[in-house]
Structure 1
């Protein structure tokens, strides 16, 4: 049986598509969809940089720069964010798929399909960040969609705020989706699947917090 990757079908007819993925012997359109998603991530992060999201370190010293130097700084910032989008998309698609392949034995390509859906949801979340930042002035780590806004009332430790800011309603849905997906393709016991998926996300939240903290530090040092 050949399965043609259609991500939105998985979202809106999940049970049927999961059955087809389980029975599939060949998968088509996998790398085409990967390419589209990676290019979308690059474009999205470049667009967010163009709008100035995350560029506070550059804006804060704008008055001390000449116009050409300021424009050059913005250009390099956009290039850096576009490259970040590339690395981020590839990481989301391939690294969790590999780890879950080693843990569950589910074919690697079928796990990539799962991560394609995950990446679509994450990119959608990033799109929703834009009006929140522009109209509310709230950065992603204190988005109303995350637990970071609660953490900011409890602690002023940046790493902790970034960590809880990485835990969003979208992330909780992703955990549920991954557990459901893996359960339908694996004979592993469901509690063990939950433990592995939640642990994987916990490590991801730690990495996100570390990356955000380091990113802010590097920007401050580079442009400050």
Structure 2
């Protein structure tokens, strides 16, 4: 009997070790993190390894690029271009449209990338949490913003709703408050979806750090305000002189 113990040990120990690794591994799933955040982030906190992050990032980036190209193809957001249509020949205008589409594709790639990594780096400097876990909690946030663009797309395509005056944001009240387009653009960043995203980030960081919710909320809101000001400046100032 005792002679057979090493045999059983050698047979079952690798299986037990593998099962233990599975229990300590977390697979990134933005949909699960959106709809069951507390359970998902509790599992993420206890995990020793995180998988599928690169795959999810690539899927979200690809979706963002495709949506950006669709917007460019249907001429959504070309108001500044068509405003000066009389200045261009047909060839020049076609080339401008091509550049516009290329710029949209680059924006669909680099804007989400910058958001993912800059926000993760900021939280990494402020909280004692593994960087990959911080990157993981940004993925459902990015998905929420992508969902906002997807929902807004048919409204822009069929009803001519401008991105600046999204019905899901405070920007619809902008013209009644001020004449400054910069304020309109800033109000555009305050939407139902952004509040959803901020709430999700607070839940995630609260679960991973166990810091007071007030402190976590202040940091998350401050980071979002930073991005809101940056995006508003980049989108509004280039056209302020036109």
TM-score, structure 1 as length reference: 0.91
Shift of 1:69: 2.2
Q: Could you say what secondary structure the match of 2:169 adopts?
A: coil
* Residues 26, 49 of structure 2: 8 Å contact kept: yes
Measured in 2, the distance between the counterparts of 1:93 and 1:201 equals 12
Q: Tell me, in whole angstroms, the C-alpha distance in 2 between the residues paired with 1:158 and 1:183.
A: 36
Of 50, 53, 57, the residue aligned with 1:27 is: 50
> Which runs of structure 2 are paired with 1:75-86 in the superposition (5 Å)?
75-86=98-109
Q: Which residue of 2 aligns with 1:206?
A: 229
Name the residue aligned to 1:4: 27
- Residue 3 of structure 1 aligns to a residue in which SS? strand
**Alignment gaps of 5+ in structure 2:** 1-23
- 1:215, CA displacement in angstroms? 4.0
Give, in angstroms, the shift of residue 65 of structure 1: 3.0
Superposed CA RMSD in Å reads 1.6
Verify the 8 A CA contact 1:94 1:112 in the aligned structure 2: yes
Q: 1:217 offset after TM fit, Å?
A: 4.4
1:92 is paired with a residue of what secondary structure? helix
Aligned length, in residue pairs: 219
Q: In the alignment, does 2:77 pair up with 1:45?
A: no
8 Å Cα contact 2:37/2:203 also seen in 1: no
Residue 110 of structure 1 corresponds to which residue in structure 2?
133
Match of 1:191 among 194, 209, 214: 214
Equivalents in 2 of 1:16, 1:191: separation in Å?
21
Alpha-carbon distance change, 128 to 180 in structure 1, aligned in 2, over 3 angstroms: same
Deviation of the 1:57 alpha carbon? 2.2
Q: 2:95 aligns with which of 58, 72, 77?
A: 72
Q: Secondary structure at the match of 2:50?
A: strand
Q: Return the offset for 1:121.
A: 0.7
CA distance in 2, matches of 1:148, 1:194: 23
Report the more deviating stretch, 117-126 or 43-52.
43-52
Deviation digits for residues 51-74 of structure 1, max 9, x if unmatched? 111111222333443332222111
Cα displacement string for residues 91-137 of structure 1 (whole angstroms, at most 9, x for unaligned residues): 12111111011111121111111111111111111112222223333
Question: How far 1:12 moved relative to its partner?
Answer: 2.7
Structure 1 residue 141, shift from structure 2 partner: 2.1
Gaps of 5+ in 1: none
What is the aligned counterpart of 1:55 among 78, 96, 104?
78
Q: Deviations over 1:151-207 (max 9, x none)?
A: 221101011111011111100111111101111110321111111111111112111
- The residue number in structure 2 matching 1:173 is 196
